[in-house]
Each structure stands twice: as C-alpha cells, then as structure tokens.
Amino acid sequence: MSLILRRVSSSIPQVFGFASRSFTSLRLPGESFGSSSSPCLTHGIHVFQCLDSVGIVAKLSDCISSKGGNILGADVFVPENQNFFYSRSEFVFDRVRWPRAQMDEDFLKLSKMFNAKTSIVRVPDLDPKFKIAILVSKQEHCLTDLLHRWQDGRFPIEITCVISNHERGPNTHVIRFLDRNCIPYHYLRTTNENKREKEILDLVKDTDFLVLARYMQIFSSNFLRGYGKDIINIHHGLLPSFRGGHPSKQAFDAGVKLIGATSHFVTEELDAGPIIEQMVERVSHRDNLQSFVQKLENLEKQCLAKAIKSYCELRVLPFEENKTVVF
C-alpha cells in the first residue's frame, strides 16, 4: 500500500483506491472551489499519510513557506494508540515563484523523507477536472440533483456520460437536459444473467471515478478489479432493516421515527465499503407516505452530493481496514 507522489500526464489517474485497497499516487485533477483574496495567488491542497514521527508538521510547513506559500488551514489527525499521521493543508502561493512542476518535486522529496503512503498535491486552478460517469436506474432524484449542481459549477467534474438499465424517452426531463449539455446517455438493459459489465467498463475506462446515483445493480468482483478505481454509492438507511420491494413503504407502515442515508465506497462486500458521509432526519406520525419518501430522497441527494464534494476536495483518506478520515 505504498504511495509515492509522482507527476502524471495521463487524464485518468487512480484517485484513492478504496475499491482495490491499494494506493497509487498522482497529481489529482479538479478545478477551484474557492479563490484566494489576492488575484496573484493560487490555491493549493496537499494531503499526507505516513507513520507518525517528530517534525512532520514542521517539515510540511517549511516545504510551503520556503517557496513563499502561506498556509490558510491545516487539519492533522493522529489516532490514539496508533503510530499513524494524517494531514490536509490548504495554502496559497505565487505560481511564478513556485511553478507547478517544482511543487510536485518538493512534495515528492517530503514523501520520500517520511516514506509516505499517501502524498497528493492538487492545484484546482491549474489541474484538469475529474472525469466521472454516473450510473442510475429508474429513480432520478439523485441524478437530477447532481446534474443541476454540476450545471451550477458546484463540482469540479466533467460528466463523460450517464449509463442506465432503465430506458428513457427522448422528451423526458433528463434526456432533454443531457442533450442540451452534450452528455451521452447509454441505455443498457440488464438481466440476472447479463449485467452488461464489459460494455460498462468500455464506456467508463477514461473516467477518474464512478458515481452510483441509485443504480440498483450489484457489480461483480471482476468488474471492480477491472475498473480498479473508486466508485461512490448512495443508499437509504432505514432501521430496522427492510428488505425486498418498496422498503420506504415498509418503513412507513412500521412507523419508524428516524430515517437516514449513507454514501460509501463500493467494495466486493455489498453496502459495506468505507463510509464517506451519513445523514439522518426525524419523521413522525404527522408524515404521510409522500412526505416520508420526499424526506428520504432529499437525504439521499444531500448525502451523495456532500460525499462527492468532500472527495473532490481531497478531504477523504483511508483509515484502518474499512474506515475513512474525512477532514
């Protein structure tokens, strides 16, 4: 699981590698989600993971300040009774005084000094956007929410395509939106015998990560290994667990008082990958089935969007066997 920072010219880098449980370092793609107070300064982000030792914070600070950079904020986490160090730093710098290529070299030296597992630098104004594909089944609430957030510029992403196992007519809201924005839509009818995984892999081979926006199909281990990059999923959290068809109605009929949503990375174990974000909301006897479902769908939309935003801003790091650090 060794990760060493390196410069990458390819537009399809490995990101954090939760699905494959291995790490490949990179120069991450993305765009700015904020701007510095001075037009002469550029915003940068650096995340770091290594064995804990004395002087890491000092060396990180010196790496940035020695080139005239200024740290805007830094988060550090050292787990109790564990010899690990995690950090995320945001800084501004003069790109003339500290060229992008030189920045990579400087953080590479730091990575080698501490034998880092993770050392990732990103300059949102300079680096390309994340390329993603969105997979969806019949329910559209998460998909439409992501499309409108993307249109409003809230995500540093480029949507390469939308893939679905549900056919949509040419005059539907989603298809009209995709056509206006030149985003391809691929309908791949699936069966229990054929999940169309090879065709999906061909369509998403140039993406940086995938988003399952209520895609109601289970990927095989062969697909996960073949893709080899991160996949972010969203699902409801209805307790007690309700299985089978219409879980929302089952939960409503059972009179549950708390509903939730979980966004996580996809692994071979169903709905058990490292959790990125969770949200909950109370419901009561005053809710009817319509308001109950609406509240649940709103949670799913917000939870998935927050997870994608955190991921794109390099706030998510692997922790222990199946957990995450989210700064």
Q: Note the pTM of the prediction, 2 decimals.
A: 0.86
Are 10 and 126 in contact by the 8 Å Cβ rule? The answer is no
Is the pLDDT confidence value at 317 over 70?
yes
pLDDT digits (tens, 9 = 90+) for 152-205: 999 999 999 999 999 999 999 999 999 999 999 999 999 999 999 999 999 999
Q: How do residues 27-37 score in pLDDT, each as one tens digit?
A: 343 444 444 44
Residues with a known catalytic role: 271
| Cα gap 252→306, rounded to integer Å | 26
Taking a C-beta distance cutoff of 8 angstroms, is the pair 308, 232 a contact?
A: yes
pLDDT at 6 over 50: no
Average pLDDT for 1-20: 41
Residue range 42-70: mean pLDDT, rounded: 96
For the chain, give the secondary structure using H, E and C.
CCCCCCCCCCCCCCCCCCCCCCCCCCECCCCCCCCCCCCCCEEEEEEEEEECCCCHHHHHHHHHHCCCCEEEEEEEECCCCCCEEEEEEEEEECCCCCCHHHHHHHHHHHHHHCCCCEEEEECCCCCCCEEEEEEECCCCHHHHHHHHHHHCCCCCEEEEEEEECCCCCCCCHHHHHHHHCCCCEEECCCCCCCCCHHHHHHHHCCCCEEEECCCCCCCCHHHHHHHCCCEEEEEEEECCCCCCCCHHHHHHHHCCCEEEEEEEECCCCCCCCCEEEEEEEECCCCCCHHHHHHHHHHHHHHHHHHHHHHHHCCCEEEECCCEEEEC
pLDDT at 75: 97
pLDDT of 220 reads: 95
- Choose between 36 and 61: higher pLDDT: 61
pLDDT of residue 245: 75
- Confidence (pLDDT) at 11: 37
**pLDDT value at residue 28:** 40
- Of the chain, the percentage scoring pLDDT greater than 70 comes to 88
- Longest Cα–Cα distance of the chain, Å, equals 64
pLDDT at 142 exceeding the cut of 70: yes
The pLDDT value given to residue 17: 57
**Interval 221-247: pLDDT, tens:** 999 999 999 999 999 888 677 877 788
**Cα(10)–Cα(32) distance, rounded to whole angstroms?**
20
